[in-house]
Amino acid sequence: MAFFEENTAEALPPQDLVTEITRLKKARNAVILAHFYQESEIQDLADHVEDSLGLARRAQTTDADVIVFAGVHFMAETAKILNPTKKVVIPDLAAGCSLADSCPPDEFGKFKISHPNHFVVSYINCTAEIKAMSDVICTSSNAEKILSQIPENRPVLFAPDRNLGRYLMEKTGRNMLLWDGSCMVHDIFSEKRILQLKTKHPAAKIIAHPECEEKILQHADFIGSTSKLLNYVESDASNEFIVVTESGILHQMQKKVPHKTLLAGPPEDASCACNECPHMRLNTLEKLYLCLRDLSPEITMDEGLRLSALRPLERMLEWS
Ligand code: 13P
Ligand code: SF4
């Protein structure tokens, strides 16, 4: 296969890329884990396509030698924290997360010090440094369950997503101190355009991810993590849905319910594809091929930091 290894991936036609990725995956004893927000061709090649919690569990228990994480950096980092003997690679090391970026460790450290009695619950969309400063981690799938296990008289500091935090306060009735972070994709949906779409499709159910703003969530018939949204379109009797989250999820939804109508939640600006995460979409089939070929870029981490971030992650998995 020297031919492929000496040529740029961009020169390969897509079919050859698929064949090569499949061959290399076997040769490397690798597992490809993909988030629902990845390009559809990456989802179709992955061994597992799941939400953040599902992918963390897969990463923890895999017996593959290499984890190829088709997602963003904090997800691949979580895989490394949970399963350090595996080589964890990501197609594009620059695939970050605006939500994780909205919580810089030095500022969060000061915030935490000024609230010493608070139990720190961090959404998994954060850096290893923030995880290391947390008591427990949660995802949008298990957040309510995690919160229910913290003694009621203990004040809670929730970071970094203010939208998810506010939603959880309303849902559980528990007051929390919120870090003021958010996701650039879930902040961009247009209430006006969603309601216009609903007027054109009155039978459609509005379903939304809890990272959306309150003005959007107030119109939702169902709110949940990506996997819960996927299950909902399958189990609910309706035939039309307005899906207010990153549009990559529509691929798996369409596969599960090809007979149903799925409408992507519109962003404020009608001319942009702002309901696609620019970080997630940095990963391409070409980069996935190169990553498997070169086993790079690799996720590496200081062992002290890893151990500090592991404790709250393990607690999350125990409590879920
Ligand atoms: P979940 O897949 O856990 O719902 O998370 C959504 C998300 O924003 C990932 O970046
Ligand atoms: Fe981060 Fe938002 Fe992209 Fe998810 S969709 S990776 S939260 S920026």
> Structural domain boundaries of the chain?
2-96+280-301, 99-184+307-319, 191-264
pLDDT reported for residue 10: 62
Q: How far does residue 298's CA lie from ligand 2's centre (Å)?
A: 21
Q: How far does residue 151's CA lie from ligand 2's centre (Å)?
A: 30
pLDDT reported for residue 8: 62
- Per the CB < 8 A criterion, the answer to whether 37 and 248 are in contact is yes
Give the number of the atom of ligand 1 that is nearest the alpha carbon of residue 226. 4
Residue 1: band (very low, low, confident or very high) from pLDDT cuts 50, 70, 90: very low
Report residue 59: phi and psi, to 5°. -65, -40
Measured between alpha carbons, how far is 145 from 74 in angstroms, rounded to an integer?
Answer: 22
Residues at CB less than 6 angstroms from ligand 1:
36, 51-53, 125, 139-141, 183, 211, 225-226
Q: Mean per-residue pLDDT for 125-153? A: 98
pLDDT reported for residue 6: 46
Q: Percentage of the chain surpassing pLDDT 70?
A: 97
Give the number of the atom of ligand 1 that is nearest the alpha carbon of residue 35. 2
Give the number of the atom of ligand 2 that is nearest the alpha carbon of residue 211. 7
Residues ≥6 apart with Cβ < 8 Å to 278: 184
Q: Mean per-residue pLDDT for 88-112? A: 98
Q: Mean per-residue pLDDT for 74-78? A: 98
Ligand that comes closest to the CA of residue 101: 2
Q: How far does residue 11's CA lie from ligand 1's centre (Å)?
A: 33
CATH architecture of the domain 99-184+307-319 equals 3-Layer(aba) Sandwich (3.40)
Give the number of the atom of ligand 2 that is nearest the alpha carbon of residue 277. 3
Residues ≥6 apart with Cβ < 8 Å to 105: 127, 129, 130, 133
Q: How far does residue 249's CA lie from ligand 1's centre (Å)?
A: 10
Looking at ligand 1, which residue's alpha carbon is closest to its atom 3?
52
- Asked: is 191-264 a CATH 3.40.50.1000 domain? The reply is no
Q: Mean per-residue pLDDT for 36-57? A: 98
Give yes or no for residue 50 having a pLDDT over 90: yes
Give yes or no for residue 5 having a pLDDT over 90: no
Q: Mean per-residue pLDDT for 126-138? A: 98
**Nearest by Cα to 68 from 311, 242, 296:** 296
Give yes or no for residue 28 having a pLDDT over 60: yes
pLDDT reported for residue 11: 67
Q: How many CA atoms does the CB half-sphere of 162 hold within 13 Å?
A: 11
269-317 pLDDT per residue, tens: 988 999 999 999 999 999 999 999 999 999 999 999 999 999 999 999 9
Ligand that comes closest to the CA of residue 248: 2
3-state secondary structure of 253: helix
165-223 pLDDT per residue, tens: 999 999 999 999 999 999 999 999 999 999 999 999 999 999 999 999 999 999 999 99
Measured between alpha carbons, how far is 261 from 137 in angstroms, rounded to an integer?
Answer: 35
Say yes or no: CB of residue 282 within 6 Å of ligand 2.
no
Measured between alpha carbons, how far is 25 from 289 in angstroms, rounded to an integer?
Answer: 9
Say yes or no: CB of residue 280 within 6 Å of ligand 2.
yes
State the chain's mean pLDDT as an integer: 96
Say yes or no: CB of residue 75 within 6 Å of ligand 2.
no
Give yes or no for residue 4 having a pLDDT over 80: no
Q: Mean per-residue pLDDT for 102-130? A: 98
| Polymer length of the chain | 320
Q: How far does residue 184's CA lie from ligand 2's centre (Å)?
A: 7
> One fold for both 2-96+280-301 and 191-264?
yes
**Nearest by Cα to 36 from 202, 206, 259, 277:** 277
What is the topology classification, in CATH, of domain 2-96+280-301? Rossmann fold (3.40.50)
